Amino acid sequence: MKTPVWIIICLFAGHQGLSYQEEGAPVRESMTVVYTPEDFAGRDGSAPKLVYDQRFFERFQPQSVGDILKRIPGISGSADAGEFDRPQMRGIGPQYTRILIDGLRVPGAGNDRTLVIDRIPAHLVKRIEVIRAPEAGGDAQGIAGTINIVLKDSAGESGFDLLLGHAYSDQDQKHRGRTGMNWRDRRGNVSYSITGSAQQRHNPKSQLTDIVDGEGTEIFKDETNILDGRDTALNTDLNIDSGNGAAFSGALSYLADERKEDETAIFSEAGEVQEEIFDFGDTSRENWGARLAYRRPVSDFGELRLSAGHNAFSIDSRLDIGVFEDGEAVQEELETDRTEDRETGLKAAFAFVRGNHRIETGIDLAQRKRDADFRLFEFEDGEMEEVELGGVFRIEERRRDAYLKDTWQIDDRHHLQLGLRYEFTETDMPDANLRRDGGEFYPSLHYGFMQSENNRFRLSITRTTKRPDFMDLQPFQQRDTPFDDQVTLGNPDLKAEMAWGIDLGYERSFSGQEGTFGLNFFERHISDRVETVGIGEDIFQIRNAGDGKVYGLEFDFGMPLTGIGLPNLSLFANLTLQDSELTDALTGERRPFNLQPETVVNLSLLHSFPGSGFSYGVNWLEQSDFIEDLTTEKGVIDYGPHLELVLEKRWGNGWVLSFLARNLLDSAKRVYLEEYEGRWTEEDPAQILDEREYSGRSFLLTLKAVLGRHQ
């Protein structure tokens, strides 16, 4: 990708739907302009936060939260072609990004504390909040930043919305359906809502790979990978306003998905088939959560807030691995995962005002239990034998956190927030008869300067953390890890990674044209970075292996072209330039973090025709190469540009018909990989792979109807 050209383009365009706002601030809405808050950028000196509402992501008809996030500034991903499942803020690994749902931590399948967000249907989402630097009232986890997924609730007008959709894959001519509904109502001081979604998922992938082994033999691999699935989701909420300032709210949510992924591959040499293999996978996952919250004023100057939440996750998956012999499937391995994870939390906070100071203090209590049950079996002469992997364990984590923050309105132009958070964690690993505990302080500073009504500067300095992977803490062997015939040892003494970070930003609102411009510089200094370190021949261990630094610039700018006589045409774009440095544990040389693209670009155009109800839009997404240097392999991943087209027709009172075409350029994911028998610094590659993965174009027709709406 030619970055200088894109920089020039992005300085004359902007992203759609971005608003810099404090929570609850009103936002103007229009079909063709960027939404700008009435109270520009918030005036309370709080943490930098970007807010994207439904109007931002609805136009391009996303199926999942992954489809939403890939259009948000600076968020990248390195999933399979046609998928976007684990977001990376600032380009570093997904485990550095904290994912919340309605402000709560949600357990997921990964032992690295990440959440697979392509399971969450986009129809459930009210808005996305991107928190670049945390306040003291929030969890310190999330060195790269925090993404809060806010689900639809009973706020706003009462009514009933219905969504119907039909998807078509050009790769294999398959059809899939989707539906969703949202009902909101109010009775006196009681409001409630129900949001549901059901959709079929389909992503066919074909993979062509040229392989050259260490002896120069050329091998061709032809692979087919078909993902089919079904997502079901439900979210309900209830709010009761007592009328004297006190309020009670409650919510229940349920997410379930089923995935079936069948993969077959044929290896050929000189046109002759040498081997045919298969991986057949079935996965079922469930999340359910409950939340209660209560707030009430205390005398004339303070407010008390109490909340409780519980989230539970379970996964039941099976992967059959084997070869075809004389047309018969012969199973060689079986992988199963039956993991359960539960977390319960309580929070109490009290805030009061003294002069120009708003002071808040609170405590967070949480308990998490994870029963991991990942097993590997091998078949020998028809007999099944379990292989010890260290994937079966229980871990219990108890948190006792407290915080204090003071937001000081120095004058009408200067605002300062100082915060201090203390997190104390106890971890029990009963299978290893081990216990560990410890506490850390996390200070934060957020300063805002309102230079004028439309210009604001921000500065944030924060300390954050990345907690260890649950499996990495287990003092057991992980066989065939990181690769076949190798062993990796866990480390119960593993420390959490810590980081000091700075965000320095400028925000401008063009009130006359309702546009926005944002520029943000960020830097993170990370200590006790975790890596897999070689300690013997084919023996590795997870260790804290030094420090690292991540830094970059984030641009976003958007405006209708009113100034050149095109008020119904808007350009939107965002650009992130990012880089990093660390000392490689193997070579001792400086290199970037793995899988960090240097640039991430979004460019969109929206054009409406007043009076006709018709509009169209195009969206362009491109990421630069992802580079990965591991102990026994080196790779480069290129995704190519992604182009989408949307056509939309509105009529009546709330009817919308949309047609979306995805991946119009038929871009492929391309991987160049060098694999080694041992460490890549010590020998020539055992084989070199050049792989192209295609998912093809897809098309989506959606009808949305507002069947009843009233105040």
pLDDT beyond 80 at 661: yes
pLDDT beyond 60 at 280: yes
Q: Which residues have CB under 8 Å from 382's CB, separation 6+?
A: none
Residue from 103, 92, 40, 57 nearest 522 by CA: 92
User: In this predicted model, what pLDDT tens digit does every residue of 688-701 receive, in sequence order?
Assistant: 999 999 999 999 99
Q: Which residues have CB under 8 Å from 4's CB, separation 6+?
A: none
Q: Which residues have CB under 8 Å from 98's CB, separation 6+?
A: 105, 139, 141, 142, 145, 146, 147
Give 516 or 17, the one with higher predicted confidence: 516
Residue from 468, 335, 436 nearest 389 by CA: 335
Report percent pLDDT > 90 for the chain: 69
**Length of the chain in residues, anyone?**
711
Q: What is the mean pLDDT of residues 256-284?
A: 96
Q: What is the pLDDT of residue 301?
A: 81
Asked if 350 and 360 count as a contact pair (C-beta separation under 8 A), the reply is: yes
* Euclidean distance between CA atoms 328 and 229, whole angstroms: 26
Asked if 365 and 346 count as a contact pair (C-beta separation under 8 A), the reply is: yes
Q: Which residues have CB under 8 Å from 5's CB, separation 6+?
A: none
Q: How confident is the model at residue 533 (pLDDT cuts 50, 70, 90)?
A: confident
Q: What is the pLDDT of residue 453?
A: 85
* Euclidean distance between CA atoms 218 and 687, whole angstroms: 10
List, as own/partner pairs, every contact residues 675-679 make where C-beta atoms lie below 8 angstroms and the sequence separation is at least 24, other chains included.
675/483, 675/632, 675/633, 676/632, 676/633, 677/632, 678/537, 678/538, 678/632, 679/534, 679/586, 679/631, 679/632
Q: What is the pLDDT of residue 663?
A: 95
Cα-Cα-Cα-Cα dihedral sign, residues 65, 71, 72, 78: positive
Q: What is the pLDDT of residue 300?
A: 77
Q: What is the pLDDT of residue 511?
A: 59
* Euclidean distance between CA atoms 128 and 53, whole angstroms: 6
Q: How confident is the model at residue 9 (pLDDT cuts 50, 70, 90)?
A: very low
Structure tokens that stand for 644 in this block: 């989408």
* Euclidean distance between CA atoms 214 and 547, whole angstroms: 35
Q: What is the mean pLDDT of residues 349-356?
A: 94
Torsional class of 102: left (φ above 0), alpha (ψ -120 to 50), beta (otherwise): left
pLDDT beyond 50 at 17: no
Q: What is the pLDDT of residue 42?
A: 39
Q: What is the pLDDT of residue 709?
A: 64
Q: How confident is the model at residue 145 (pLDDT cuts 50, 70, 90)?
A: very high
For 127, what's the count of Cα atoms within 13 Å in the CB-facing half-sphere?
Answer: 18
- The pLDDT mean for the chain works out to 88
Q: What is the pLDDT of residue 426?
A: 97
User: In this predicted model, what pLDDT tens digit does every residue of 615-629 receive, in sequence order?
Assistant: 999 999 999 999 998
Please name each of the domains of the chain with its CATH number. Answer: 3-710 (2.40.170.20)
Q: Map tokens 């544990």 to a residue.
A: 585
* Euclidean distance between CA atoms 340 and 316, whole angstroms: 9
Structure tokens that stand for 262 in this block: 């069948």
Q: What is the mean pLDDT of residues 122-132?
A: 93
Q: What is the pLDDT of residue 14?
A: 33
Q: What is the pLDDT of residue 557?
A: 85
pLDDT beyond 80 at 33: no
| Phi (first) and psi of residue 439, to 5 degrees | -130, 155
Q: What is the pLDDT of residue 688?
A: 94
- E strand or H helix that includes residue 365: strand 357-380
Residue type, 174: K
pLDDT beyond 90 at 448: yes
Q: What is the pLDDT of residue 272?
A: 93
Give 528 or 676, the one with higher predicted confidence: 528
Q: What is the pLDDT of residue 39?
A: 31
User: In this predicted model, what pLDDT tens digit does every residue of 35-86 receive, in sequence order?
Assistant: 333 333 333 457 788 888 888 788 888 999 999 998 887 898 888 888 998 9
Q: How confident is the model at residue 303 (pLDDT cuts 50, 70, 90)?
A: very high
Q: What is the mean pLDDT of residues 660-683?
A: 86
Asked if 659 and 700 count as a contact pair (C-beta separation under 8 A), the reply is: yes
171, 229, 258, 373, 595 from 261: Cα distances, Å: 16, 8, 10, 21, 25
Task: Provide the 10 A C-beta neighbour count for residue 503.
Answer: 21
* Euclidean distance between CA atoms 541 and 646, whole angstroms: 49
Give 82 or 418, the one with higher predicted confidence: 418
Residue from 174, 176, 178, 155 nearest 165 by CA: 178
Cα-Cα-Cα-Cα dihedral sign, residues 50, 144, 115, 93: positive
Q: What is the mean pLDDT of residues 21-40?
A: 33
Q: What is the pLDDT of residue 680?
A: 66
pLDDT beyond 90 at 435: yes
* Euclidean distance between CA atoms 459 and 47, whole angstroms: 9
Q: What is the pLDDT of residue 449?
A: 94
* Euclidean distance between CA atoms 492 and 432, whole angstroms: 9
Radius of gyration of the chain measured on its C-alpha atoms: 26
* Euclidean distance between CA atoms 353 and 350, whole angstroms: 11
Residue from 639, 628, 626, 625 nearest 692 by CA: 639
User: In this predicted model, what pLDDT tens digit does every residue of 205-227 receive, in sequence order?
Assistant: 999 999 999 889 999 999 999 99
